[in-house]
């Protein structure tokens, strides 16, 4: 008997073998298919829930988290906020050692003080009662703001510098007369020193308020020793001493103005005049009568030398805001010193702060002008309504300080 057999193709055989190999034991293909569908549904549901959560979360802008600006995925780290540092503790209060005071810092702001005389041109009388708005002051041609103004009448601190040399009897006579006329104008509060010069400079008396001491010093001038008249050396030395004396000072220089044997040159002497602050020089040339009479055989220098000496004496006064006198007769001396007293004791003091604040040691020229309410040059009249000519006297300039001063 022939047993019927099934003919199974090769494809079916291979499929059957694979299914038996991949399927777990005891699990049919249908069961595996059903389980796979359930797993797929579960994964889809989880993915849907995850997407809903991502939509509900706030979206991060580029750069709001760490890493590149377009990394908003799970690898982007949030930006860390720097912790706030606590405030520093206050500095400790340190006490000064016993006996030591508080230290302070001072800053010097440069100011310039200018003494101004306003005198009538005819008789050199002081013109009072001018106001601050009547004055304009210029430094190297630039207007300067006036920060202080007052009219004062004060005691004086002055050096009487006398030429005492055996050059001419006429010079000595004029010097004596000038010195005595000066002492008659002194006030109890004035400080006066007396110096003489020939080849050397000699201090007869230091600054004193005692009028008798000044008169005794003048009386001691009896017999001159040297012929030389070293006025450059004498004036330079006197200015150097006065630079260490505080306040406003004056020099009354009485002499021929002729220099014969000085070690200091004229240029150095004028430079010293420029750089010495708060000093006004009044000069009186002696020997006027003998010069007018042609020398009178008294050893008067030649006319060219005397004209040069006069020019130098006038320069000393002009540069410092003083006045130069050339009397011919001894009777003129009391009036001369009256004018000097009026000029010294009655003044306008002007203070301004220079617009040029550079401390370069340069010489800066000063010019003072009187103006009316409209800024035009001031015109004055006397009681008869006639114009009165006047002159404004102030120092020619000053030398700016250096940074090391």
Q: What percent of the chain has pLDDT over 70?
A: 71
Q: Are residues 306 and 258 in contact, defined by beta-carbon separation less than 8 angstroms? A: yes
Q: Map out the domains of the chain as residue ranges.
A: 111-153+348-405, 154-345
At the topology level, CATH places domain 154-345 in: Rossmann fold (3.40.50)
pLDDT per residue over 14-30, tens digit each? 344 444 444 444 444 44
**Is the backbone of residue 14 left (phi > 0), alpha (psi -120 to 50) or beta?**
alpha
- What was the pLDDT predicted at 224? 86
Q: Average pLDDT in the 51-67 region? A: 49
Distance in angstroms (rounded) separating the CA atoms of residues 248 and 277: 8
Burial of 240 (C-beta count, 10 Å sphere; 0-12/13-18/19+): exposed
Q: Average pLDDT in the 372-378 region? A: 92
Lowest mean pLDDT among 156-165, 202-211, 396-405: 396-405
pLDDT per residue over 122-170, tens digit each? 877 889 999 999 999 999 999 999 999 999 887 899 999 999 987 778 8
Please provide the average confidence, as pLDDT, over all residues in the chain.
Answer: 79
- What was the pLDDT predicted at 53? 54
Q: Average pLDDT in the 309-332 region? A: 92
Q: Are residues 355 and 139 in contact, defined by beta-carbon separation less than 8 angstroms? A: yes
- What was the pLDDT predicted at 108? 58
- What was the pLDDT predicted at 247? 83
- What was the pLDDT predicted at 241? 93
Confidence of residue 244 (pLDDT cuts 50, 70, 90): confident
Confidence of residue 9 (pLDDT cuts 50, 70, 90): very low
pLDDT per residue over 212-226, tens digit each? 999 999 999 988 888
Query: How many alpha carbons fall within 13 Å on the CB side of residue 350?
Result: 28
Q: Quote the pTM value.
A: 0.65
pLDDT per residue over 222-242, tens digit each? 888 888 899 999 999 999 999
């Amino acid at each position: 008997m022939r047993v019927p057999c099934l003919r199974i193709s090769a494809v079916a055989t291979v499929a059957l073998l694979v299914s038996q190999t991949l399927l777990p034991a005891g699990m049919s293909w249908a069961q595996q298919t059903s389980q796979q569908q359930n797993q797929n549904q579960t994964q889809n549901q989880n993915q849907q829930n995850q997407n809903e959560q991502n939509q509900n979360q706030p979206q991060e802008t580029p750069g709001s988290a760490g890493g590149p600006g377009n990394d908003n995925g799970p690898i982007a780290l949030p930006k860390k906020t720097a912790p706030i540092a606590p405030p520093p503790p206050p500095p400790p209060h340190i006490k000064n050692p016993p006996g030591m005071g508080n230290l302070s810092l001072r800053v010097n702001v440069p100011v310039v003080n200018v003494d101004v005389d306003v005198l009538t041109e005819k008789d050199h009388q002081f013109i009072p009662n001018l106001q601050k708005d009547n004055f304009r002051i210029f430094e190297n041609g630039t207007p300067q703001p006036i920060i202080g103004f007052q009219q004062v009448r004060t005691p004086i601190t002055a050096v009487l510098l006398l030429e005492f040399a055996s050059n001419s009897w006429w010079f000595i006579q004029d010097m004596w007369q000038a010195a005595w006329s000066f002492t008659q104008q002194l006030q109890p509060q004035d400080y006066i020193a007396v110096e003489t010069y020939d080849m050397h400079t000699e201090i007869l008396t230091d600054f004193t308020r005692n009028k008798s001491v000044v008169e005794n010093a003048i009386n001691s001038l009896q017999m001159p020793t040297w012929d030389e008249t070293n006025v450059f050396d004498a004036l330079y030395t006197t200015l150097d001493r006065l630079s260490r004396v505080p306040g406003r000072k004056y020099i009354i220089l009485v002499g021929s103005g002729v220099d014969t044997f000085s070690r200091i040159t004229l240029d150095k002497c004028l430079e010293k005049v420029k750089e010495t602050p708060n000093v006004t020089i009044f000069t009186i040339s002696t020997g006027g009568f003998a010069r007018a009479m042609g020398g009178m055989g008294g050893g008067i220098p030649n006319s060219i030398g005397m004209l040069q000496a006069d020019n130098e004496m006038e320069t000393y006064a002009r540069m410092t805001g003083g006045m130069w006198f050339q009397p011919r007769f001894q009777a003129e001396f009391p009036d001369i010193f009256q004018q000097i007293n009026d000029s010294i004791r009655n003044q306008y003091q002007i203070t301004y702060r220079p617009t040029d604040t550079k401390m370069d040691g340069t010489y800066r020229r000063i010019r003072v002008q009187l103006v009316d309410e409209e800024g035009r040059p001031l015109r004055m009249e006397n009681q008869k309504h006639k114009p009165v000519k006047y002159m404004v006297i102030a120092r020619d300039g000053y030398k700016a300080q250096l940074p090391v001063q």
